[in-house]
Structure 1
Amino acid sequence: MKRFAQVIATVLMALAMPATIFGSEAAAAPDTASTPAAKLARAAEPLPGTPLGQATAVSPAAPLGRATALSPAAPLSPATPNADDLQAEDVADFQISINDLEPRVVTNHDSVRICGTLTSKSETLKDIQLNLYVRGDSMVTIPQTDAYLAGETYAGDYIKSTKISELKAGQTRDFSITVPTDDLPFMSDFYWGPRGLEITASAGDMEAYDRTLLLWDSGYEVEPTRLSVVSMISESVIDTSDGVVSTTPTVAQKNLAMKLADTNGVTLAVGAGLLESEQFSSALAKVSNGPIISLPAADADVAGIAHLNEPSQLPRLVKDSKSVRNLDVASDAGLEILDSFVIPEIDQLDLQTVRTWADQTIIARGTGLGPIEVLTYDPSTWTRFDTDTGESVAATFSADEGEAGDGSGDAGTDVLIAHNTLTELLGRRAHSPDEELDIQQMIRATTAVITRQLPNQARTMVALTSRNADEPEILDRVNAALGERWVKPLNIGDAIAESGESTPRTSLPDYVATEGSITDAEMHTLQEAIESTAAMTSALEDSTGIVTRQRSRVLLASALALRQEPRLRSALKNGVVEEANQLATSVKVEQSAPINVLDQSARLPVRVSSTLEEPVNAIVELVPSDPRLQVDEGVEVQIPAKSATIVEIPVRAVGSGNVLTQVKVKGPNGLIIDDDTQIQVRVRAEWENKGMAVAAVLLGILLVVGIARTVKRGRRVDMVDGNDSEDGSGERNE
């Protein structure tokens, strides 16, 4: 019976609502009555949706709103003029601010305390009367809450008055008003939610007022809205004496991130470089309540990359940089990494972005992507787009098909549409305590309105904080979004599963420009610079460090932070080109004097030097300009670090002449490292034959001469020996 009563109450509330789009994401109907008089008239009447009888209920102690004075303490004017009717100098000179409510959500509390300040800049004021008004109806759309805070609608029922005796010129004075809960115009439990609250201050002809929102939680049974808040923290860029480099977040940003990670319902999205910090990952693992989304290194601009005509290797570099396979430090710390999400910083999601990141789940703001059908409620976050047409397609989550986050149905890219109002409020900058109070109460009011739209049907929402937030108030805002009874905190990894079915939304525009992103010309320059070092990186014993640095520099050039810093991107691009040139020219062939080749086969010496800090493996080849000198193959060589070596290359000479020969140094991948050097080779291959012939002839002549002289000398010896023998015989005969 209770559930049936709730359904009936929901129908009655819908009938009481104005015949417009109720969703807080829908635009408010145009206001044709914008004159001060029209606004004044509007301020004296309750909004549609007020419970029957509530608008005309009159307490004996006070008038309804401020239309009629029934009490000496009540104001006598027909209605309080709104901000447009007050003179600018009066508003500036006399001010009232509501800075706090205790409690901010009324449940079973006995009283409510309203705290604020009064300021008079130039005039001393006495007998200042403060009047408290509270709306008796619960606001059912976000445009209603906006209009109330802007002073454009009915202030509320008169509740109480009090007086401040004196406010001196130039003084700011605190005040507080405490009112019993029983005196507040809370009636049926069904009409829980945001109520308008106003305090006026008047002294003589000086008048000021301030408004805020008070939440009433009657305990009415509802299906809570499932909400996931995603907060992003990543590296930024800075210009140093060593060039443009990536820098880690500030201490304040890290501290806030840790507190947010410890909040149920918050999913932290962290840059890959930060996740590879052992200190940060270890600290995060101790406080995190769920998985962590990995953002690309340097917080690369995924929307800007998608808008390049030729994104080349950048999408792959982005995915590799945030892949869990490459985040060893984070994994070792025990963090659960979700590496299949991208969060483009873009005013409106477009087809080009969805196509580029088709295999990722995209979390994006919902500007321009309303539901196809006119709805009286805010739809769930999940939708799916066809990457060919940009049209929304039907999909239903099926737990049987795989991991949480998968969806069945037509093929396409899954997109989680962030709630515009909640995202804007979480990132809005407050300039005073009263503005901060209004922001936090608007956040609570937004979640209450969403839940009240379909109190018996849960929906799933996603909201984003600003990137690298450091304001401590962000934590209070997130707690305001996630901490109330009508909200169920949700992990982002379960958003699709909890949505159940995708919501059909309007088609994606083909292209929405991103101002300040990296251009095709800049990317082309970087790509050429990196390609010029491909040969050298293949020649190094360990090229991991250089390749990693090159990739990080390219990602850094596409960093989101550089959208506002074109000068730094230009400096970074020039630095990458200079580094590439230095690496590409670090191995050179030294010029030598002409070399003489006097044989049909020889080994030509070539001197190769390196300026690198590590050895280089290369292949040295000769390319003669004339076939009289021939080379069969190159020679593999290891060039020592910061040194030089002589390579001897085998050649064959098949003729004589001067041959200009080019020396090529190649990497193991066959790409050329250096081919700028040519040496002069004097080929004299026939000189050896001629020299041998001459030498042979000379040797032959010398041999003949030697033999002849030997023979001649031998004959002379024989003649002398014969003469000596005859003389002796004669003597003996005698």
Structure 2
Amino acid sequence: MSPSRLGHAMPARWRAVLCVLTLVALGVGGAAGGPFKPGPAAAAAPGVVPTAVVTPAPTPDAGTVLVQVTGVEPQVLQPAQDLLVTATIRNDSAKVLESPRATLRISRFRLASTTQLETWAGSAVAADAGKAVGSVDIPGPLAPGMSVQTTLTVPSTAFGLLNTPDAWGPRGLAVELTDGGRRVGLDRTFLLWLPDETAPAPTPVSVLVPVVGPASTPVATTTPVPAPTPSPTATASADSSATDPELDALTGATGRLRAVIDATGHHAEVSWAVDPSLVEAAAAGGSSSTSWLADLTQRSARRDVLALPWGDPDLAAIAHADRPDLLTLARDASAGSAATVFGGTPQTQLMWAADDVPDATTAALTVRSGARALVVGPDALAPEREAAPTRSGTVAVRTDAGELTALVPDSALTAALTDADAVDPGATPATAAQRILAETAVAAHDRASAGQHLLAALPRDWDPEVPIVQAQLDALATAPWVELTSVTGLIGRAGDDSARAPLPTSARSAQELSPAHVVALGDARASVAAFATVVPVPDTLLAGLDRAILSPLSVAWRDAPSRRGALVDTVLADANTRRTGLSVLVSPKFTAVASATQIRLTVHNALPQDATVQVDLRPRKACLTVPDGPTLATVAAESDAIVSIDVQANANCDVDVDVYLLASDGTVVASPAKFSARLAPTIENVGTLAVGALLALGLVVGIIRTVRRGQTANRGARVAALAAAAPHASAEEKTP
């Protein structure tokens, strides 16, 4: 039986079924999936406005006419709705377009991955643009340099898309310009198709924007430092005046910081990570800075605002120098910020790595600091199995210090918001909105990432195109499959269980501050803090110190290492100056002839406060000792005090003695002094022996003289009387 006869013999209902199956097989019925492959242009489907056949091969005029889609309404098309696509056409060629015609084309295959979206958007002008669904003649001729706006209105039925639950999602959409049947321009975008009653469960999406300013040098320094070249990743210091003009420019009408607030401020669901040092600098800045700060504060109400550590320090540099005390210092400074932009109490639970892929040492530092989450780059912690990709914004990371939540941005969403023109050259607010809707639809449709919380984290140097970003955020806020939510909710959310590539054990960037410099800054801060304990009001000596110490640690200085080095030297010199004002005066030579003696010296206090110090003598030989240890002394402000110290000379010797002034914890608070002592304690001993010997000799001589001289006259008379009386007594005894 011939095919024609077979067709006549089949019942009408079977012919209809066969027709539908054929359309589905060909993709014209709105296939639920399958890859998009650029190919030759096809003829228009039946039932739509006919268009001229397009020559598939490139022509000399191809791409020389600018076509830009400036409007897609509605952004999400549903059955029984008409699609209105507005485009601007400008003749950039050198030829007159005699018969210009605009045609709307669609690729009916659902685009199921970011790769397919990129393939469609990046296809050449002459590549396949799908099937024509509507066209309109443009009044011509169109001379070189002329532009015109046109609108194509197409009913949803003309697209021939299925109404099945799995048919929703993005399709390729294009506006083509032909002249005499030859394609001379094309702009690609996306159609979002959502049949009735097939809306998927919303996918949580968070947008995190860093609000950081320019690099700066602190005012309270003793040596001027060259002002750094404006750095896109910079952070301001609250004590900075040298950068006020730059900050005013950044917060002015055309400045980057103004654009950040204007682009994101109208959506309270967008989270801000704010550097408190920028807030303090803006408060002390010019009119544009203070106006910007007022706007920032107003738009912070009912918004998720997180406080970065003060000055946005380089976590890697601090970690590699093993100085967690500096990060604690920065977090404490943020926690103590009184800026109303942070509400009642600043949230300091978030850290932001300077490197896209931080090492395990940096992650461990974050845990030790008490923070709960670390923002990393899109390339960090990649899934180990490429065949099972995941787009989860949270990943649990185990470190030597404990477990940490890593916030991993989605690369596609982040790229689309960062620079829509880099993703889709010539992007308009309309096409940028359709692209980000397509990206989120792909993620929501993907079973591997369905329900996962997506994150878009913008770079520190983000300079947004305000109309484009506003259109993108507006689209996300109204998309049925998206739920814009704060980053704070993401921090407490568990990530997926997929295996991830571990963070490198240790990886140091050549741009970060050297460990030696970081250690020097930390030691300088500790020394000044210890020095300040000698006065009753330490804050007068510590004012501005923490800001000065933290300033060179900012991520901003990675772009200006030589100036950063000069700043470190200046900050260290300033810290050393803060530790001056106390000195000790002593005679260069001292002689002691006694074993126990006192050494008197003078302590000079040039500080405006009383100072209490310990005077510590440290002999370099054991022949001199200090029995009572350091001697406590209080010296009045701007005066001198004489201090007497008991010492013990143990032998004859010449000894050098160092004199130290110490704080209560033993920190040296003045330059050591030195004197030489000549000890002769045996002179005292010899004298004592000589005197004793003379006394003993006198006693012996006296005894001998007494013996040799015999009895005295009185004693002799008594002896004679006794002798005379003795015979008389004997005679009486003999008488009867």
The two structures have a TM-score, normalised by structure 2, of 0.70
Whether the aligned pair in 1 keeps the contact of 2:395 and 2:407 (CA below 8 Å) is yes
Deviation at 1:273, TM superposition (A): 2.9
Does residue 430 (structure 1) correspond to residue 421 (structure 2)? The answer is yes
Write the distance in 1 (CA, Å) between the matches of 2:671 and 2:59.
81
Distance 1:455 1:662 in 2: 73
Select the residue among 394, 414, 423 that pairs with 1:382: 394
Deviation at 1:126, TM superposition (A): 3.5
Alignment of 1:124-135 (within 5 A): 124-135=96-107
Deviation at 1:320, TM superposition (A): 4.6
Name the CA shift for 1:619/1:518 in 2 (closer, same or farther; >3 Å): same
Identify if the C-alpha distance between structure 1 residues 482 and 498 changes in structure 2 by more than 3 Å, giving closer, same or farther: farther
Structure-to-structure mapping, 1:629-644, within 5 angstroms: 632-641=628-637, 643-644=638-639
- Equivalence for 1:140: 112
Q: For 2:143 and 2:451, how far apart are their aligned partners in 1?
A: 53
Structure 1 residues 286 and 679, CA gap change in structure 2 (3 angstroms): same
Which runs of 5 or more structure 1 residues have no equivalent in the other structure?
1-8, 21-27, 29-38, 46-55, 63-70, 390-410, 695-734
- Kindly provide the amino acid, as one letter, of the partner of residue 357 in structure 1: T
Q: For the residues of structure 2 that align with 1:680 and 1:511, how far apart are their CA atoms?
A: 51
Shift, 1:420, TM fit: 1.4
Is 2:613 aligned against 1:618?
A: yes
- Following TM superposition, by how much is the alpha carbon of 1:96 offset from its aligned partner in structure 2, in angstroms? 2.7
Aligned partners of 1:365, 1:594: CA distance in 2, in Å? 66
Please give the alpha-carbon distance, in whole angstroms, between the structure 1 residues aligned to 2:175 and 2:340.
54
- CA deviation after TM superposition for structure 1 residue 110, in Å: 3.9
Instruction: Give the secondary structure class of the aligned counterpart of 1:573.
Output: helix
Matched, 1:226 2:204: yes
- Checking the alignment, whether the CA contact within 8 Å between 1:623 and 1:631 is kept in structure 2 is no
Determine helix, strand or coil for the equivalent of 1:269: strand
The residue aligned with 2:406 is: 415
Amino acid at match of 2:307: S
Task: Describe the SS at the equivalent of 2:170.
Answer: strand
Which one of 146, 149, 159 corresponds to residue 175 of structure 1?
A: 149
- Do structure 1's residue 481 and structure 2's residue 476 form an aligned pair? yes
Alignment CA distance shift 1:289-1:633 (3 Å): same
- Matched-pair contact (CA < 8 Å) for 2:275–2:312: yes
Q: Is the 8 A contact 1:262 1:288 kept in 2?
A: no
Residues 216 and 551, structure 2, Cα contact 8 Å, conserved in 1: no
Question: Does structure 1 residue 296 correspond to structure 2 residue 306?
Answer: no
Query: Which residue is 2:373 aligned to?
Result: 361
Distance in 2 between the 1:297 and 1:501 partners?
A: 32
Match status 1:450 vs 2:443? yes
Aligned to 2:433: 440
Distance 2:627 2:388 in 1: 83
Change (3 A) 1:335 1:437: farther
Question: Contact 2:330–2:550 at 8 Å: present in 1 too?
Answer: no
CA contact (8 A) 1:194 1:448 kept: yes
Deviations 1:432-453 (A, max 9, x none): 8635543332111111111222
Q: State how far apart, in whole Å, the 1-side matches of 2:642 and 2:273 are.
A: 54
| Structure 2 match to 1:246 | 236
Question: Per the alignment, do residues 475 and 422 of structure 1 end up closer, same or farther by CA in structure 2, a change over 3 Å counting?
Answer: same
1:213 aligns with 2:199: no
What is aligned with 1:104? 75
Equivalent position amino acid for 2:264 in 1: L
Deviates more, 1:515-524 or 1:548-557: 548-557
The within-5 A match list for 1:13-92 is: 17-18=33-34, 42-44=39-41, 58-62=45-49, 71=50, 73-77=51-55, 79=56, 81=57, 85=58, 90=61
Deviation at 1:668, TM superposition (A): 1.4
Whether the aligned pair in 2 keeps the contact of 1:256 and 1:475 (CA below 8 Å) is: no
Q: 1: distance between equivalents of 2:54 and 2:128?
A: 16
Change (3 A) 1:221 1:470: same
Alignment CA distance shift 1:504-1:490 (3 Å)? farther
Name the residue aligned to 2:11.
none
In 1, the alpha carbon distance for the partners of 2:299 and 2:270 equals: 15
Distance 1:650 1:624 in 2: 13
Aligned-pair CA distance for 1:131: 2.5
- Superposition deviation, residue 651 in structure 1: 3.7
| Counterpart secondary structure, 2:444 | helix
Q: Secondary structure at the match of 1:188?
A: coil
**Deviation of the 1:179 alpha carbon:** 0.9
Secondary structure at the aligned position of 1:297 is classed as coil
**2: CA distance, partners of 1:445 / 1:234:** 30
- Give the letter for the 2:633 counterpart: V
Q: Would you say how many aligned residue pairs link Structure 1 and Structure 2?
A: 611
CA contact (8 A) 2:84 2:153 kept: yes
Secondary structure, aligned partner of 2:421: coil
Query: Distance between the aligned counterparts of 1:678 and 1:500, measured in 2?
Result: 64
Distance 2:31 2:131 in 1: 24
| Separation (CA, whole Å) in 1 of partners of 2:609 and 2:261 | 41
Give the letter for the 2:392 counterpart: S
Could you tell me which of 115, 135, 141 is aligned with 1:166? 141
How many Å separate the matches in 2 of 1:103 and 1:610? 78
Query: What letter matches 2:173 in structure 1?
Result: L
Q: 2:192–2:438: 8 Å Cα contact kept in structure 1? A: yes
User: For 1:473-515, what per-residue CA distance to the aligned partner results, in whole angstroms no more than 9, with x for missing partners?
Assistant: 4343333334312111222222265557544434444345545
Equivalent-residue separation in structure 2 for 1:330 and 1:650 (angstroms): 52
Q: Write the letter of the residue equivalent to 2:305.
A: I
Distance 1:173 1:384, change over 3 A: same
Aligned to 1:334: 343
| CA distance in 2 between partners of 1:420 and 1:476 (Å) | 19
2 CA distance for matches of 1:595 and 1:610? 24
Partners of 1:289 and 1:384 in 2: how far apart?
28
Distance 1:323 1:230, change over 3 A: farther
Q: Does 1:149 align with 2:121?
A: yes
1:539 counterpart (527, 534, 538): 534
Task: Supply the distance in 2 between the matched residues of 1:302 and 1:234 (Cα, whole angstroms).
Answer: 16
Question: What residue number does 1:345 align with?
Answer: 354
Q: CA deviation digits over 1:631-650, x for unaligned, max 9?
A: 74444334455x34132214
- The Cα of 1:428 is off from its aligned counterpart by 1.8
Residue segments in structure 2 that go unaligned for 5+ positions in a row: 1-23, 228-234, 239-246, 284-289, 692-736
Give the aligned partner of residue 35 of structure 1: none
Residue 284 (1) aligns with residue 281 (2): no
In 1, the alpha carbon distance for the partners of 2:579 and 2:585 equals 16
Do the aligned partners of 1:482 and 1:489 also contact (CA within 8 Å) in 2?
yes
Q: 1:683 to 1:86 in 2, by over 3 A?
A: farther
Q: C-alpha offsets along residues 272-305 of structure 1, whole Å, 9 cap, x if unaligned?
A: 4356788859963764334432211111122444
Q: Is the 8 A contact 2:87 2:175 kept in 1?
A: no
**Aligned-partner SS, 1:134:** strand
Alpha-carbon separation, structure 2, partners of 1:255 and 1:483: 23
Deviations along 1:306-341, whole A, 9 cap, x unmatched? 4x2xx322x343245335993352589634643232
C-alpha deviation, 1:580, in angstroms: 3.2
Name the CA distance, whole Å, in 2 between partners of 1:433 and 1:103: 21
Pairwise CA RMSD of aligned residues?
A: 4.4
Tell me by how many angstroms 1:413 deviates.
Answer: 2.7
Contact persistence 2:89–2:148 (CA under 8 A): yes
Describe the shift of the 1:615–1:437 C-alpha distance in structure 2 as closer, same or farther (beyond 3 A).
farther
1:649 aligns with 2:644: yes
Q: 1:676 to 1:336 in 2, by over 3 A?
A: closer
Q: Secondary structure at the match of 2:236?
A: strand
Match of residue 557 from structure 2 = 562
Q: Which amino acid aligns with 1:104?
A: Q
Give the equivalent residue in structure 2 for 1:461. Answer: 454
Q: Name the CA shift for 1:373/1:653 in 2 (closer, same or farther; >3 Å).
A: closer
Cα distance, 1:289–1:181 mapped onto 2, change above 3 Å? farther
Distance in 2, matches of 1:680 and 1:128, equals 103
**Preserved contact between residue 654 and residue 677 of structure 2 (Cα < 8 Å):** yes
Tell me, yes or no, if the aligned pair for 1:135 and 1:156 is still in contact at 8 Å. yes
Alpha-carbon deviation of 1:112?
0.6
